[in-house]
């Protein structure tokens, strides 16, 4: 296991694979623009998934040592950069009330391994980055709001302090066919199980997704920004148009959420988190040749005691292209 961890961490710095392998580029944008700027207000992530058995040689060696991957599989390596931001219920107040969600941002880079054997998909990902002013979340939100003419956020002076962060995440999806012919199209269910550990997030999660449409077995759902129901940039292209609709849920037992608990090593603003959080989601995926587009609507249960609404609703748009 120690040898695996050394190789996996070293793979974070092995970016030469970008120039050598053809793979899949994906971009995901999550936002509550149709509701209000509050709580989890925005996330964006761009990623590159290598071709089968492509990418960093260090990552492929680490995959062979990881004990939870299946015995026979095709391995892909992934690299990503992303930014997420969180705000209280009102961004026009310079000093949000006690018990509200703190201002916080998270800027990170990730390296991952994806193992797929036709019946299940295993994903292992290491993310490292910064929370606090160095995340540039304040500058990002103020710039975007100025461009679109929205309210200028007033309370970023009270955001979480700078802190380096790390998350090690593992997820497993199983493919289980319910029927090959439900009103002319297949219907399947993909249960999942996983978790994450680190000073940013520590949780265990489980859930399922039900999908209906044209050959939904060619992927495992659109990519998302964690914590969430797991999806993936992985899909099998075809020369014809295909589609499916989906719905599902994910439940998390949360031990650590820095964006609610506050900084790990120093005093900061914080609020009392809920130990159990659930996501209910539904959406659609369409693909043609080497391109895939997905939309997901998410309803997330209360994450902290002072949260005013019973749930937060936000949308996620994803685009993937094999090149």
Span 78-83, mean pLDDT? 96
Span 167-176, mean pLDDT? 94
Please say if the pLDDT value at position 206 is more than 50.
Answer: yes
Task: Determine the pLDDT at residue 35.
Answer: 55
Span 34-59, mean pLDDT? 82
Task: Determine the pLDDT at residue 213.
Answer: 93
Higher pLDDT, 91 or 218: 91
Average pLDDT, the chain: 88
Higher pLDDT, 224 or 117: 224
pTM: 0.89
Segment 123-153, tens digit of pLDDT = 999 999 999 999 999 999 999 988 988 888 9
Span 43-54, mean pLDDT? 90
3-state secondary structure the chain: CHHHHHHHHHHCCCCCHHHHCCCEEEEEEEECCCCCCCEEEEEEEEEEECCCCCCCHHHHHHHHHCCCCCCCCEEEEEEEEEEEEEECCCCCCCCCCCCCCCCEEEEEEEEEEEEECCCEEEEEEEEEEEECHHHCHHHHHHHHHHHHCCCCCCCHHHCCCCEEEEEEEEEEEECEEEEEEECCEEEEEEEEEEEEEECCEEEEEEEEEEEEECCHHHECCCCCCCCCCCCCCCECCEEEEEEEEEEEEEEEEEEEEHHHHCCCCCCCCCCCECCEEEEEEEEEEEEEECEEEEEEEEEEECCECCCCCCEEEEEEEEEEEEC
Segment 263-287, tens digit of pLDDT = 999 999 999 999 999 999 999 999 9
Instruction: Name which of 3-7, 198-202, 230-234 the model is least confident about.
Output: 3-7
In this structure, CATH architecture of domain 2-322: Beta Barrel (2.40)
Segment 105-117, tens digit of pLDDT = 999 999 999 998 8
Task: Determine the pLDDT at residue 43.
Answer: 96
Segment 20-29, tens digit of pLDDT = 447 999 999 9
Instruction: Name which of 1-5, 134-138, 235-239, 318-322 the model is least confident about.
Output: 1-5
Please say if the pLDDT value at position 1 is more than 50.
Answer: no
- pLDDT tier at 56 (50, 70, 90 boundaries)? low
Span 300-312, mean pLDDT? 91
Please say if the pLDDT value at position 19 is more than 50.
Answer: no
Task: Determine the pLDDT at residue 13.
Answer: 45
Higher pLDDT, 214 or 132: 132
């Amino acid at each position: 296991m120690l040898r695996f961890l050394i190789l996996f961490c070293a793979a974070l710095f092995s970016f030469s694979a970008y120039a050598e392998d053809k793979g899949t580029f994906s971009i995901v944008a999550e936002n509550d623009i149709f509701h209000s700027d509050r709580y989890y207000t925005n996330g964006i992530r761009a990623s590159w998934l290598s071709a089968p058995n492509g990418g960093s040689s260090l990552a492929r060696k680490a995959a062979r040592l990881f004990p939870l991957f299946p015995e026979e599989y095709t391995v892909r390596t992934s690299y990503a950069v992303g930014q997420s931001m969180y705000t209280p219920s009102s961004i026009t107040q310079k000093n949000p009330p006690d018990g509200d969600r703190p201002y916080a941002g998270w800027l990170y880079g990730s390296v991952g391994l994806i193992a797929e054997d036709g019946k299940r998909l295993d994903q292992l990902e290491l993310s490292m980055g910064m929370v606090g002013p160095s995340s540039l979340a304040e500058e990002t939100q103020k710039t975007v709001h100025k461009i679109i003419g929205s309210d200028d956020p007033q309370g970023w002076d009270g955001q979480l302090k700078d802190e380096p962060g790390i998350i090690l995440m593992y997820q497993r999806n199983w493919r289980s066919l319910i029927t090959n012919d439900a009103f002319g199209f297949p219907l399947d269910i993909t249960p999942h199980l996983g978790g994450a550990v680190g000073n940013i997030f520590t949780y265990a999660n489980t859930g399922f997704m039900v999908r209906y449409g044209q050959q939904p077995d060619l992927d495992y759902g659109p990519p998302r920004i964690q914590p969430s129901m797991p999806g993936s940039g992985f899909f099998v292209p075809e020369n014809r148009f295909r589609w499916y609709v989906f719905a599902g849920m994910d439940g998390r037992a949360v031990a650590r959420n820095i964006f609610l608990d506050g900084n790990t090593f120093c005093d900061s603003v914080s609020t009392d988190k809920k130990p159990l959080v659930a996501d209910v989601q539904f959406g659609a995926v369409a693909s043609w040749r080497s391109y895939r587009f997905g939309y997901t609507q998410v309803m997330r249960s209360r994450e902290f005691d002072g949260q005013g609404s019973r749930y937060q609703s936000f949308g996620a748009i994803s685009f993937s292209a094999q090149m």
